[in-house]
Chain A
Amino acid sequence: EDKVVQSPLSLVVHEGDTVTLNCSYEVTNFRSLLWYKQEKKAPTFLFMLTSSGIEKKSGRLSSILDKKELFSILNITATQTGDSAVYLCAVNQKTSYDKVIFGPGTSLSVIP
């Protein structure tokens, strides 16, 4: 069965800390891996990763994919309270439609 696993499921850090969120997957016909940030409402897109070893960066956030080990990490440096959210990892699967399999999410709380 196709699945996406995230760890930890929840995390509490202090402002200024660096965090690493993990995502592993077992998905057939892999197309890409996606990271979303979900605050109180809808998920918002962060990164799409399709190739191993190429880091994507956006400000204090970065992510990398290892297609051999079926693994991705999302790093957040110098965390701020505004980073508090659920971070969803998802895998886009090659099917007849744009199928995306979501992990359960990591709930990050950044305290002052």
Chain B
Amino acid sequence: NAGVTQTPKFRILKIGQSMTLQCAQDMNHNYMYWYRQDPGMGLKLIYYSVGAGITDKGEVPNGYNVSRSTTEDFPLRLELAAPSQTSVYFCASSYSLGLGTDTQYFGPGTRLTVL
């Protein structure tokens, strides 16, 4: 298994540009998540999905959009990039809810800089 993969690893955007961060998992996990991590801070949840076709907002969704057309893929879209979106973005997935034994598996991250 490749686990959770993310592309690109690094990206520099100009203010107002758009881009899509890709995330894929091959573990057949139902739940997928997008976090951002700013320097010296914990991870903040942007959006999450509990299955194909179902997405919802997390703690900091403004300026982002997601879609989940398949179980494997969960892309994150930035429509009008702003300097405040400079961050490291992590995608994660987990199998199921409520068993008390599961954990989230993280991708390697995408470092985004908006200038």
Contact = CB atoms under 8 A, between A and B. Distances in A.
A46 to B, nearest CB: 10
Looking at A9, A31, A48, A97, the one whose CB has the most chain B CB atoms below 10 A away is: A97
Given A34-B103, A41-B108, A42-B90, A97 B42 contact: no
Interface size range of chain A in the complex: 20 to 34
Contacts of B33: 98
B42 A102 contact: yes
Nearest to B58: A99
B19 interface: no
A61 to B, nearest CB: 16
Contacts of B42: 4, 88, 90, 101-105
B94 A98 contact: yes
Interface string B86-113: 0000100010011011111111110000
Interface string A91-112: 0001011111111110000000
Contacts of B100: 31-32, 50
A100 B92 CA distance: 11
B52 to A, nearest CB: 14
Interface string A38-61: 000111110010100000000000
Contacts, number: 56
Interface residues of B, number: 27
Query: Chain A interface secondary structure, helix, strand, loop or mixed?
Result: strand
Among the interface residues A41, A44, A88, which one has the most CB atoms of the partner chain B within 10 A?
A41
A92 to B, nearest CB: 8
B108 A100 contact: no
Interface in A72-103: 88, 90, 94, 96-103
B60 interface: no
A105 B50 CA distance: 27
Nearest to A100: B104
Nearest to A101: B42
Given A9-B40, A45-B105, A102-B35, 12 more contacts: A43-B43, A43-B106, A97-B31, A97-B50, A97-B56, A97-B97, A98-B33, A99-B45, A101-B42, A102-B42, A102-B43, A105-B42
